[in-house]
């Protein structure tokens, strides 16, 4: 029986992970859940956003189902104690270097997209974001300049092994799709990006069946809105991937729709919606649970090797949406619970 570490976290995290568990429960799978506090919720009970017991559970489990962390009550805490450190810590400690963020248009949802329907209808892409390097993990600090001005810095840094392994993941995923890979960087101004491009080109020699192109991040942001249909798989660094995937979500219709998988080199992973804790709607039953439900499906498919129930969940979400089920972020009136019920009904 597979052990799932359930880390619900803060804000809407517990609301959307509960929805995901309800859907998983309806499938009567051989799963066992164990819960642990994380983020602000953990800081409240244990004085740390990622208590050792929580990390130990995540390490022991076959997969981690994660909600979101972040709580404005802790905005004044120093950076290393903020709730968000929990997710950064989990990614680093578990070696989750590959973040897979699929974005695909749902039939009948073109009207909710920020793009024109005929453009939105063509979205079917996968963002492969590097997750354990870049400015998020480089040297950070505060100080004073020589003239006494306050200064802050975050070092952007990658080594060739880090770039090569995420590039490889990008190429491998492209092989399972339309065999087109776009590597996104900022090689016109950043040294890290020049290394990135060099290494991606080297890795490309092992994947001659995949068509590789390079694009600057600013252009990619523009192209994603102009013509997202041109992309199949995008591979990029931590910071660019973070921004581009939030942007991709709005092209699909809502950030409440996009799931993600964060994987280590063996395929073990943490699964979470790409959105955060949404304190502005927390506790109101307004959150769209689809991103969390689809994250559970990714967990079944990727880490637990249960493609059949994963496919059933994905089909049920698509059917519920096609049938008109909409939470407020999609212009509808359904609560989190009612949206979950619509998915359950479509599961049959």
Residues placed in the known binding site: 91, 101, 129, 218, 242, 246, 276-288
What's the closest the beta carbon of residue 136 comes to Mg ion, in angstroms?
Answer: 11
Catalytic member of 186, 216, 232, 268: 186
Please select the residue that binds ligand NAI; options are 101, 275, 312, 326, rule is CB under 6 A: 275
Question: Quick check: is 43 catalytic?
Answer: no
Sign of CA dihedral 262, 264, 269, 270: negative
Q: Does 212 interact with ligand NAI (rule: CB under 6 A)? A: no
Site for ligand NAI in 51-80 (CB under 6 A): 68-70
Binding residues for Mg(2+): 218, 242, 246
- Contact (Cβ atoms closer than 8 angstroms) between residue 258 and residue 274: yes
Instruction: Name the nearest CA neighbour of 184 among 224, 237, 239, 227.
Output: 237
Q: How far is CA 333 from CA 114, 146, 238, 285, in A?
A: 19, 56, 35, 11
Question: Quick check: is 136 catalytic?
Answer: yes
- Contact (Cβ atoms closer than 8 angstroms) between residue 286 and residue 21: no
What's the N-to-C CA distance of the chain in angstroms? 24
CA–CA distance, 271 with 216 (Å, rounded to integer): 28
DSSP result, 21-62: HHHHHHTT-SEEEEE---THHHHHHHSSSS-HHHHHHHHHSS
The SS3 assignment for 232 reads coil
Residue 242 contact, options ligand NAI, Mg ion, none, Cβ 5-8 Å cut-off depending on partner type: Mg ion
CA–CA distance, 161 with 6 (Å, rounded to integer): 31
Q: What angle do CA 9, 11, 17 make, to 5 degrees?
A: 55
Catalytic member of 136, 216, 268, 329: 136
Q: Does 110 interact with Mg ion (rule: CB under 5 A)? A: no
Site for ligand NAI in 3-32 (CB under 6 A): 12, 16
What's the DSSP call for residue 334? Answer: B
Binding residues for substrate: 91, 101, 129, 218
Q: Does 270 interact with ligand NAI (rule: CB under 6 A)? A: no
Please select the residue that binds ligand NAI; options are 321, 329, 343, 346, rule is CB under 6 A: 329
Which residue number is nearest to Mg ion in terms of Cβ? Answer: 242
Catalytic member of 111, 159, 206, 218: 218
- Contact (Cβ atoms closer than 8 angstroms) between residue 119 and residue 227: yes
Q: Tell me, residue by residue from 278 to 317, as one string, x for binding to Mg ion by CB under 5 A and - for no binding.
A: ----------------------------------------
Binding residues for NAD(+): 276-288
Q: Does 288 interact with ligand NAI (rule: CB under 6 A)? A: yes
* Cα 297 to the center of its chain, rounded Å: 13
What's the closest the beta carbon of residue 192 comes to Mg ion, in angstroms?
Answer: 20
Site for Mg ion in 206-245 (CB under 5 A): 242
Site for ligand NAI in 289-318 (CB under 6 A): 291
Question: Quick check: is 186 catalytic?
Answer: yes
Cβ proximity to ligand NAI, 68 vs 174, nearer residue: 68
- Contact (Cβ atoms closer than 8 angstroms) between residue 126 and residue 100: yes
Q: Does 256 interact with ligand NAI (rule: CB under 6 A)? A: yes
| Interface with ligand NAI (CB under 6 A) | 12, 16, 68-70, 84, 87, 255-256, 272, 275-281, 287-288, 291, 329
């Amino acid at each position: 029986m597979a052990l799932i570490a359930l880390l619900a976290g803060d804000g809407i995290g517990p609301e959307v992970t509960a929805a995901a568990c309800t859907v998983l429960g309806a499938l009567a799978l051989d799963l066992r859940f164990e819960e642990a506090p994380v983020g602000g919720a953990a800081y409240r009970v244990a004085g740390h956003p990622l208590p050792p017991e929580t990390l130990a559970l995540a390490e022991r489990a076959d997969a981690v189902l994660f909600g979101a962390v972040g709580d404005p009550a802790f905005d004044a805490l120093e950076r290393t104690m903020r709730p968000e450190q929990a997710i950064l810590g989990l990614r680093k400690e578990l070696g989750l270097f590959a973040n897979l963020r699929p974005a695909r248009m749902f039939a009948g949802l073109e009207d909710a997209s920020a793009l024109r329907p005929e453009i939105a209808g063509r979205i079917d892409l996968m963002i492969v974001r590097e997750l354990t390097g870049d400015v998020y993990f480089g040297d950070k600090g505060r100080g004073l300049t020589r003239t006494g001005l306050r200064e802050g810095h975050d070092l952007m840094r990658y080594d060739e092994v880090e770039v090569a392994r995420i590039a490889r993941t990008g190429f491998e995923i492209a092989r399972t799709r339309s065999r087109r890979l776009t590597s996104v960087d900022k090689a016109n101004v950043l040294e890290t990006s020049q290394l990135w491009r060099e290494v991606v080109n080297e890795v490309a020699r092992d994947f001659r069946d995949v068509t590789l192109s390079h694009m600057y991040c600013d252009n990619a942001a523009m192209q994603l809105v102009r013509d997202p249909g041109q992309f199949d798989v995008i591979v990029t660094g931590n910071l660019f991937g973070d921004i581009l995937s939030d942007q991709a979500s709005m092209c699909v219709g809502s950030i409440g729709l996009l799931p993600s998988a964060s994987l280590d080199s063996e395929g073990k992973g943490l699964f979470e919606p790409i959105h955060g804790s949404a304190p502005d709607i927390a506790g109101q039953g307004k959150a769209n649970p689809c991103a969390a439900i689809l994250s559970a499906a990714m967990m079944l498919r990727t880490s637990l090797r249960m493609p059949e129930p994963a496919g059933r969940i994905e089909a049920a979400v698509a059917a519920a949406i096609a049938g008109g089920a909409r939470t407020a972020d999609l212009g509808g009136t359904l609560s989190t619970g009612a949206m979950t019920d619509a998915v359950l009904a479509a599961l049959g």
